[in-house]
Structure 1
Amino acid sequence: MNIDTALKEAMSITGAVGVALVDYDSGMSLGTGGGGDWLNLEVAAAGNTEVVRSKLRVISMLGLSDSIEDILITLHRQYHLIRLMGGVRSRGSLFLYLVLERDVANLALARHHLKRIESDLQV
């Protein structure tokens, strides 16, 4: 699936407010969906790039031979889910960033859907 289709699929997840596909090497988004006045996805993409970089540094400093599947940031009214794009095909520096309304979202299902989207996405 292409980027636009992947973003539309992510926005169809119950509770989805916004989504972005982000390159954490540059901090730039390759595409966005949703968002709005209170959720600037470009700013969020750049900020979450720092979260990903920081966690990768810690894993490296600890000498862990493991990789990040996803990162969850829980706010009072929202979930912010960061799904790193694993595997080859030059997807190593990309992540999907999804913002969900906590009151209506099912976090387990959202994670499952993002995993499927990530595996089908062709970049």
Structure 2
Amino acid sequence: MSNIKEILEKLLTTDGAMAAAVVDSGSGLMLGGVGTGIDLELAAAGNTEVVRAKLKTMRSLNLKENIDDILITLENQYHIIKLSSASPGLFIYYVLDKSRANLALARRSATDAMQGLAI
């Protein structure tokens, strides 16, 4: 696995980026995090529950697809949860200032970062 800190710091170069973390969805533990404005340890644990709930719902609905990402749009922020297809159980949690971020570019940055984390 590439250097997690380097990959996360590159995410912070995206316009509007505030914070980012790599999370193990099996345990809810943060493997690395950068940025400010949010308690990343708490966010890692909470967003693990979001991922688990969505996967459970998909199983209940008999959906045989993989989640690419989950977008949570707040009044002033975007929260992107980017799941790994190459390293199941990992996701990137990415927080952006909505007034400064370009959502398409941010999602692309998260995809590139996830590819850099592939084992």
Superposition TM-score, scaled by structure 1 size: 0.92
Secondary structure of 1:104's partner?
coil
Structure 1 residue runs of 5 or longer lacking an equivalent are none
2:92 matched residue in structure 1: 96
- Report how far residue 76 of structure 1 moved: 0.3
**Counterpart in 2 of 1:19?**
20
**1:57 alignment partner in structure 2:** 56
| Matched residue SS, 2:57 | helix
State the percentage of identical aligned residues.
47
2:114 to 111, 118, 122: 118
RMSD over aligned Cα atoms? 1.0
Residue equivalent to 2:6: 5
Aligned-pair CA distance for 1:122: 4.2
Count matched residues: 118
Q: Deviations over 1:52-110 (max 9, x none)?
A: 000000111111110100000000000000000112xxx20010000000000000000
1:107 equivalent to 2:106? Answer no
What is the distance in 1 between the residues matched to 2:56 and 2:33?
A: 26
Structure 2, unaligned stretches of length 5 or more?
Answer: none
Q: Classify the secondary structure of the residue corresponding to 1:92.
A: coil
Tell me if structure 2 keeps the 8 A contact 1:3–1:122.
no
Helix, strand or coil for the counterpart of 1:95? strand
1:85 alignment counterpart: 84
TM-score, length basis structure 2: 0.95
Residue of structure 2 equivalent to 1:40: 39
SS of the residue corresponding to residue 19 of structure 1 reads strand
Cα distance in structure 2, aligned partners of 1:64 and 1:122: 25
Shift of residue 24, structure 1, vs aligned partner: 0.8
